[in-house]
Structure 1
């Protein structure tokens, strides 16, 4: 069959010049090449035959034109698991240069180690590897990191409609930023078809290559004219990324000397001393590390920019359902998780068509309108969905933004039991106060306010490090004695809140008294006089009032 095949060559453009081409397979009578190739059982033999024929054509071009050109050839990643393929292709490539093998992102393979070894052997011959169709359906950064790619080709689906949809434009920019952060890839944007698309992509300020009908249709090989050379990507990390990498190294290292060295490097990179990262005589290395990471976490999540708030929530929640609608209820964007859940992309669908398929969708639009008409910019709601008679509950968090005079509603959907997404206290690993303002608090009926007794004396006598250890021990005792569904929050210093689903205040009180007696005995066995006082209130009047009432009752208990 390969003898009947032919090739067209899609030029690759950089700075308006042709710097190479991709060989596109053409088979008589076959309109869908991808489907045809997917049915081939011996892919390694087929890919070898394709490579051999493309290289023969390139040699003919060189003999006729007097010059060669960089060529990209599509192969199946499964061929890299074949010893036959690796051996035969290695011999074929001995006297070749400027060859890139393109691998489709969604290809499957059985052995990552075999693929990596094959790539290493072939790359030693000067061959480069490109990941094709990146972003088609799902952008798998893990695959990018696992395999040593030289080039990433951005699928045309991410380019489509960027001139009409700001969020598509912004999403593409985010992907390019992430790729340029993690490695010095050559990046090619596929299927660029209009000048507006090109102008928008060029506004990102990145060195990119392009393929698409805007520049050229696929050509016969002798119509191809090479007019330039591909730029060498010069990788330089900015201070922000250097700092991020150093913090990453600090978190994963436990060795004191290594941590001290990293902390000193952070102090140099932290040019405005935002982290106060310098090692001093009054703080040991673990204390400096703890303080530094707490400040870093605070800085990285504390932006008030509406754009940052939106994209941070969107990017951090891509495994959850995200949808953006305008004031009329039209879907402007829904992420892949939302599309998978609904089994349809809602963007561009008229509302009446959506209502025909999903009658409960009317309720979603009604909640949007409530937020639009309110003075608030945020709304958290518990919603229930009927799945063939089975009710499943979700929490939805909506944010209202005004974008160039247009009201947009961003909705993120959380599973009812998803509490692990909320921030935790760096010392005790309890939840911090952030969770108090969340939808999740609707799960609970009562709160206990806990304050440690004798903690100040412990700090004064033994020091803060010893005191921190006592706090962690207390939290460990509480977690062991409470139910897994109960929620512990470090409220401040040696104060904690415990939220429970218990309805009977006497049962909750008895449980805490038993825990207190056990805590006192456990600390006393180590010669430490520590206990805690507590107060309880129900949440019927609201969380803030309940916390204040429980606090007052805690002081009454302290004077017992």
Structure 2
């Protein structure tokens, strides 16, 4: 019995390594061998001891080790596990496999909480999405990390629906359930590029990065600061976002993909390189909140002044990053009366909008005080029409002293 190790990567850096059991007799199936063990507790404690002894002089500080769900029913395992992990002075992740079934979720939950309280240990679900029972583990237990099964991953380079399935899974697990994610089974560059469209901060494991090998094979700098608290910042929105995501996906897998520019208000019409279109589309995804603003988003983000767009009811449908920075708040989605309550000047802004909307003019200029510092600003307002709806675009410049 011995161990190989396979790294988990983030931003091309190894953040931890998974210990994988190997046997001298190569004809024996490892999974069958592990499943055949009748005394799960003794077997898992033996594995834990052997791995911790194997890694004690390693430059890496974080490792994951597979254990059976049944071992966590045991108070003996719990006490010994804490003792071994604390003695090792390594950060350990225990990956729960779903091969064994248990109905003692209350006891398992208490023991996980106890191990986490008295050691630096984290817990992961292995091969999530492979079956149905691991959903029960996810909901019922205080799990920190979810490893998405390679069966889900292998579909992303073959179809857009496979990509959407993975993205929705990552979004729900990370943004709603607040779990850290590792995507397993990454085997080629296309899959890496597709995952980058979901998040530039994603954690991956697979043959594309490294095959399992002896421990001293790996010498890449480890990211010691990673504490498994960073979650994916993914916005799921309406159909316009899906269209942009599909465009990025198609351009990732096919450099010769033909774009229907009318679908995107001709935003990409004068971009001739796929990488430039992808870059612009990714920038749009960061700020787009509704299809009403799609035609203006590219302009907004590149502007050197604060910009905000309101509809005829005073609702903010867009404000660029400079406006958000100036006001320390994103105004999109906030009712106008609430903004009036928050900012003394805001009712005046709405009144100027109404004045322009009701006039025959298409443009207006005012000097206003629009923040608590009482600094003066030039405000240029312009009527704009999209899909037969009227909006007021305000461009805001601070008056130079």
CA distance in 1, matches of 2:231, 2:241: 31
1:439-478 equivalence runs, <5 A: none
CA distance in 2, matches of 1:40, 1:236: 38
Aligned partners of 1:72 and 1:102 also within 8 Å: yes
Aligned partners of 1:23 and 1:72 also within 8 Å: yes
CA distance in 1, matches of 2:136, 2:103: 16
Aligned partners of 1:18 and 1:225 also within 8 Å: no
1:135 match = 129
CA distance in 2, matches of 1:184, 1:123: 17
Task: Tell me which structure has the larger Cα radius of gyration.
Answer: 1
CA distance in 2, matches of 1:184, 1:120: 17
What displacement does 1:141 show?
4.0
Aligned-residue CA RMSD in angstroms?
Answer: 2.9
Count residues in correspondence.
241
1:41-80 equivalence runs, <5 A: 41-59=38-56, 61-62=57-58, 67-80=59-72
CA distance in 2, matches of 1:6, 1:106: 22
Length-normalised TM-score, structure 1: 0.40
What displacement does 1:77 show?
0.7
Aligned partners of 2:67 and 2:94 also within 8 Å: yes
CA distance in 2, matches of 1:190, 1:105: 16
2:348 match = none
**1:316-369 deviations in whole A, cap 9, x for unaligned?**
xxxxxxxxxxxxxxxxxxxxxxxxxxxxxxxxxxxxxxxxxxxxxxxxxxxxxx
Q: 1:16 aligns with which of 12, 22, 25?
A: 12
CA distance in 2, matches of 1:129, 1:116: 11
Aligned partners of 1:131 and 1:153 also within 8 Å: yes
1:118 match = 111
**1:394-427 deviations in whole A, cap 9, x for unaligned?**
xxxxxxxxxx99xxxxxxxxxxxxxxxxxxxxxx
CA distance in 1, matches of 2:43, 2:182: 26
What SS class does the counterpart of residue 18 from structure 1 fall into? strand
2:83 match = 91
CA distance in 2, matches of 1:120, 1:165: 40
What displacement does 1:234 show?
4.2
Aligned partners of 2:9 and 2:205 also within 8 Å: yes
What displacement does 1:106 show?
4.9
- Considering Cα pairs closer than 8 Å and 6+ residues apart, tell me whether 1 or 2 has the greater RCO: 2
What displacement does 1:132 show?
0.6
What SS class does the counterpart of residue 203 from structure 1 fall into? helix
Aligned partners of 1:186 and 1:208 also within 8 Å: no
What displacement does 1:235 show?
5.7
What displacement does 1:307 show?
6.3
CA distance in 2, matches of 1:306, 1:11: 33
1:72–1:203 CA distance, 2 compared to 1 (3 A):
same
Aligned partners of 1:77 and 1:108 also within 8 Å: yes
What SS class does the counterpart of residue 37 from structure 1 fall into? helix
1:552 match = none
CA distance in 2, matches of 1:9, 1:118: 27
CA distance in 1, matches of 2:121, 2:75: 17
Aligned partners of 2:125 and 2:143 also within 8 Å: yes
Length-normalised TM-score, structure 2: 0.55
CA distance in 2, matches of 1:204, 1:307: 12
**1:299-321 deviations in whole A, cap 9, x for unaligned?**
x9xx787969xxxxxxxxxxxxx
1:419 match = none
CA distance in 2, matches of 1:179, 1:48: 30
